[in-house]
Amino acid sequence: ESISRRMTVFGTGYLGATHAACMAELGHEVLGVDVDPSKLAMLEAGEVPFYEPGLEEVLRRNIAAGRLRFTSSYEEAAEFADIHFLGVGTPQKKGEFAADMRFVDSVVDSLAPLLTRPAVIFGKSTVPVGTAERLGVRARELSPAGQDVEVAWNPEFLREGFAVKDTLHPDRLVLGVDRNRPGRAESVAREVYGKILDEGTPFVVTDLATSELVKASANAFLATKISFINAISEVCEASGADVTVLADAIGHDERIGRKFLNAGIGFGGGCLPKDIRAFMARAGELGADQALTFLREVDNINMRRRTRMVELAREACGSLLGARVAVLGAAFKPDSDDVRDSPALNVAGQIQLQGAAVSVYDPKAMGNSRSLFPTLTYSANTEEACAGADVVLILTEWAEFRKLLPSDLDDIVRKKVVIDGRNCLEPAIWRDAGWTYRGLGRP
Ligand code: UDX
């Protein structure tokens, strides 16, 4: 049975905007809150400020149905609902591994004094273990409702590119509640997520610290899995083996599984890199740093793949000084316009620093790339990027690059060399057409 509730969502970035729209899609009355007027204006007009397949439809449908609105007013938010989701960012601090908690803290500091009725705050952001407990104490101190304010943690596991599906049909829901203060958080969550739970979605209810660590360790595991296969790909390169065949073969073992075993230029984005660093920093603060020293190696392996890609490009051109390098892909992964910590742009930037003329094309991430790396040259399409190229680099495995055929580029490039940073092309097709094909971890 579905119950419609009123709720707010603080933060309208990737996580918050998706959560707000999807909660409205479940039938709830939702108010999205942000301090950035430009984001609010876009969302109110039914426009998603980033590229996420399917999200705009959900947003528009629910605005039209009157279930979804946006505001910058905390007063309005506190008045509107007694269920508050917190989905603001926890970026990496400048020059440190630790997470910057200023956005999370500021929401609680501004909202709590306005809470005059009993309320539940569900944190969704990825935070250092211990944060939820700390925020609970703080919120109760600041709020006129005092002891009737509860903080629970409800980590989010959505992937960019699948944000709507991952939110409405998650693999599992996790809820951390304060075991020392029995409250309403679990029953409220069961109402809010009723439709999802009715589908048989596993629901793990635990203490606050465990829920925070679930998220940190899930991301650490995924990052480790990618770096594992990338480490093996280094050995493959040294021995003439093929990491893609190897990944298929070990992936058949159900205990291992084939997913997240794609070797290439490694992981990037707004989550995995900063989350493993924040996790190490937090373990250090807790005196458990030894437990996570392996994550430093995970990070190192990941960064080494980028350097290797640059090396391969240099080998292909003889010297990068004066070479023309075509870069296909800028987003940190396909079906996203996100370039935060993108391996593709990092490689493009390093190659340019070594004196090459780099032209970049990405189907969706051109605007964001230009703001982050204004000095690279950007092309309108694949053909323009590859014109006169000494080497073509595939750095994000967009479908349109996977589908490329040698005949699409034969007459455009100067030298028929392709380096496949995502192992997404069929080597035989390119070699048979007279191209030099190099993959990462492939002979
Ligand atoms: C990730 C987690 O998957 C998600 O659960 C969490 O909530 C946020 O972080 P996301 O950042 O959207 O999601 O991207 P994901 O699909 O996990 O990919 C992360 C990076 O790993 C990308 O740069 C991708 O190219 C890379 N990757 C992924 C590989 O290099 N090899 C793989 O086999 C898989």
| ipTM attached to this prediction | 0.97
| pLDDT computed for residue 3 by the predictor | 81
pTM assigned to the model:
0.96
Tell how strand 149-153 and strand 119-123 pair up: parallel
Q: How far apart are CA 24 and CA 441, in angstroms?
A: 45
**Does the CA dihedral 60-65-114-104 come out positive or negative?**
negative
From start to end of 108-228, where are the E strands? 119-123, 149-153, 173-177, 203-207
Q: What residues are labeled active site?
A: 271
Query: In whole angstroms, how large is the CA radius of gyration of the chain?
Result: 24
Contact status, residue 12 vs residue 50, Cβ threshold 8 Å: no
Enumerate residues 6+ apart whose C-beta is below 8 A from 401.
328, 329, 382, 394, 424, 425
Quick one: which atom of ligand 1 is closest to the CA of 218?
5
| pLDDT computed for residue 134 by the predictor | 98
Q: How far is the centre of ligand 1, averaged over its atoms, from the C-alpha of 306 (Å)?
A: 16
Quick one: which atom of ligand 1 is closest to the CA of 422?
30
Q: How far is the centre of ligand 1, averaged over its atoms, from the C-alpha of 25 (Å)?
A: 26
Which residue type does 246 have?
Answer: L
In the numeric block, the tokens 């014109």 are attached to 387
* Nearest alpha carbon to residue 6 among 34, 35, 27, 33: 27
Closest residue by CA, ligand 1 atom 21: 267
Alpha helices in 267-342 (DSSP H): 272-285, 293-317
Contact status, residue 387 vs residue 360, Cβ threshold 8 Å: no
Which domains are present in the chain?
6-201 (3.40.50.720), 225-439 (3.40.50.720)
Task: Write out the chain's pLDDT in tens, 443 residues.
Answer: 568 999 999 999 999 999 999 999 999 999 999 999 999 999 999 999 999 999 999 999 999 999 999 999 999 999 999 999 999 999 999 999 999 999 999 999 999 999 999 999 999 999 999 999 999 999 999 999 999 999 999 999 999 999 999 999 999 999 999 999 999 999 999 999 999 999 999 999 999 999 999 999 999 999 999 999 999 999 999 999 999 999 999 999 999 999 999 999 999 999 999 999 999 999 999 999 999 999 999 999 999 999 999 999 999 999 999 999 999 999 999 999 999 999 999 999 999 999 999 999 999 999 999 999 999 999 999 999 999 999 999 999 999 999 999 999 999 999 999 999 999 999 999 999 999 999 999 99
Contact status, residue 21 vs residue 58, Cβ threshold 8 Å: yes
Q: How far apart are CA 436 and CA 427, in angstroms?
A: 9
Q: How far apart are CA 290 and CA 67, in angstroms?
A: 48
Any ligand 1 atom below 6 A from CB of 283: no
Any ligand 1 atom below 6 A from CB of 272: yes
In the numeric block, the tokens 């964001």 are attached to 368
Any ligand 1 atom below 6 A from CB of 160: yes
Return the structure tokens found at 285: 């603060």
Any ligand 1 atom below 6 A from CB of 398: no
Annotated binding site for NAD(+): 34, 39, 90, 126, 160, 274, 340
Q: How far apart are CA 328 and CA 400, in angstroms?
A: 10
